[in-house]
């Protein structure tokens, strides 16, 4: 790196390929989180809306006790997801400008992990409820396990694999 570069004031981060100050990095991370929040908020709202229409359907009266219990658990998960999203936004609104962006971003990232967890549980639970209503309980459990495994692979295993160093082509063959 050229030390005569006027943009290099010594506060720039080194080693990650980006030329940004810690504050710029936090701003970038927060902007990324906001984009993720927007997507998740829409998904959570659609899911909650879908769930909240079910009791008004004629077939809802035919649900057995286990199905009604699962439905209520899904409503609680949908509401909890919405609350977690709202909390991340409120933390930013309340604490913005107080020079604690690192804590705000860290807290928002933890809240987003909670949102991903509740959304994952919602997906599994909705698949179980729908398969149970349309087919039978055994196939519903199979569908729930299948979606649970798929979510674990995509949301846990894939990012972990991407974080590991790439293997040499010779090792892979």
8 Å CB contact between 119 and 44: yes
* Predicted pLDDT at 25: 81
* Predicted pLDDT at 73: 95
Torsion of the alpha carbons at 72, 129, 113 and 43, rounded to the nearest 10: -90
Specify the 3-state DSSP secondary structure of 3.
coil
Give the Cα separation of 125 and 5 in Å (integer): 56
Q: Which of 152, 154, 132 is nearest to 143 (CA)?
A: 132
* Predicted pLDDT at 92: 73
Written as tens digits, the pLDDT of the chain (173 aa) is: 444 443 444 444 445 567 878 778 887 887 788 788 777 788 788 888 888 888 888 888 888 999 999 999 999 999 999 899 888 888 877 776 777 778 878 888 898 899 999 999 999 999 999 999 999 999 999 999 999 999 999 999 988 888 888 776 555 55
* Predicted pLDDT at 24: 81
Structure-token match 């309980």, residue found: 137
Give the Cα separation of 66 and 72 in Å (integer): 10
The pTM is what?
0.73
Quick: pLDDT tens for 82-103: 899 888 888 877 776 777 778 8
Contacts of 19 (CB under 8 A, 6+ apart): 7, 8, 12, 13
* Predicted pLDDT at 168: 61
Q: How far is CA 52 from the centre of its chain?
A: 21
* Predicted pLDDT at 11: 46
């Amino acid at each position: 790196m050229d030390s005569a570069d006027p943009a290099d004031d010594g506060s720039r981060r080194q080693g990650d390929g980006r030329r940004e100050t810690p504050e710029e990095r936090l701003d970038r991370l927060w902007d990324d989180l906001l984009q993720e929040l927007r997507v998740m908020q829409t998904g959570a709202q659609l899911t909650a809306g879908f769930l909240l229409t079910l009791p008004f359907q004629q077939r809802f009266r035919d649900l057995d006790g286990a199905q009604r219990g699962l439905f209520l658990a899904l409503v609680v998960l949908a509401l909890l997801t919405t609350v977690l999203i709202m909390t991340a936004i409120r933390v930013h609104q309340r604490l913005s400008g107080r020079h604690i962006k690192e804590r705000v971003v860290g807290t928002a990232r933890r809240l987003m992990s909670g949102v991903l967890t509740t959304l994952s549980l919602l997906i599994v639970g909705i698949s179980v409820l729908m398969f149970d209503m349309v087919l039978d309980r055994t196939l519903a459990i199979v569908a729930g396990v299948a979606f649970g495994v798929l979510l674990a692979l995509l949301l846990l295993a894939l990012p972990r694999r991407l974080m590991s160093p790439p293997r040499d082509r010779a090792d892979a063959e």
